[in-house]
Amino acid sequence: MKILGLTGSIGMGKSTTAAMFEALGVPVHSSDAAVHGIYAGPQAPLVDEAFPGTLRDGVIDRAALSRAVVGNPDALRRLEAIVHPLVRRAEADFLETARRDGHPLVVLDIPLLFETGREADMDAVLVVTAPEAVQRQRVLARPGMTAQKLDAILARQMPDADKRARADFVIDTASGLDAARTAVEAIVRHLG
């Protein structure tokens, strides 16, 4: 079974691209979805213990958590120490199931793939990209997003040009859905 790492900076089109792989029958594990599951699942109290007042009705209030960690590197490291091992456990379960089910290819959607040194775990890496103006427009259209929050997120991410230089495959999502779909199909044929 081949493992394709899917990555790209915020607002580049990772989720849309991941859905294209899923539509072709390729199993996808999303690190972001795993985090959301942790925030809404039985492990949510672990986060609230470290960041009191972030748990509301059994679910982590992401806005409250964001206020506690954005711009605070120590708090962010504390959060990552809780969440990252849980995400890796969910990923390991996903890979075990995919191998058992005989899938020839899987996708691991990991936003901070290069930043966390995970490229060595992949058979190939796909970076999704878009021009900076398109990226900013996409991200700033999200509810609750501000230019300050976006800049803080981008400060933690490797520059897009560096990611593209290290990728095995690159898809420019600003070229449209049909072009992206064609590129995804070609990658599946190549790796599958």
Averaged pLDDT score across all residues of the chain? 94
| Topology (CATH level 3) of domain 29-101 | Rossmann fold (3.40.50)
pLDDT of residue 28: 98
* Chain centroid, CA 146 distance in Å: 20
Average pLDDT over residues 149-163: 88
Quickly count: other Cβ atoms within 10 Å of residue 10's Cβ: 18
Of 110 and 151, the structure prediction assigns the larger pLDDT to: 110
Tens digit of each residue's pLDDT (9 = 90 or more) over 110-140: 998 998 899 999 999 999 999 999 999 999 9
User: Is 1 labelled as part of a ligand binding site?
Assistant: no
Looking at per-residue confidence, does 61 or 73 come out higher? 61
Give me the pLDDT at residue 68, please: 92
- pTM comes to 0.89
Contacts of 153 (CB under 8 A, 6+ apart): 10
Question: Known binder of ligand: residue 14?
Answer: yes
Distance CA 58, CA 86 (A): 18
What is the mean predicted confidence (pLDDT) over 166-175?
96
Task: Write down the domain spans for the chain.
Answer: 1-26+104-191, 29-101
- Check the annotation: does 13 bind a ligand: yes
- 175 annotated as a binding-site residue: no
- Burial of 16: CB neighbours in 10 Å, binned 0-12, 13-18, 19+: middle
Are 151 and 71 in contact by the 8 Å Cβ rule? The answer is no
Strands (E), 37-176: 55-56, 59-60, 105-109, 124-129, 169-172
29-101 shares the fold of 1-26+104-191: yes
Instruction: Give the closest residue to 113 by CA, choosing from 129, 95, 125.
Output: 125
Q: What would the CATH number be for the domain defined by 1-26+104-191?
A: 3.40.50.300
Q: Looking at residue 156, what is its pLDDT? A: 80
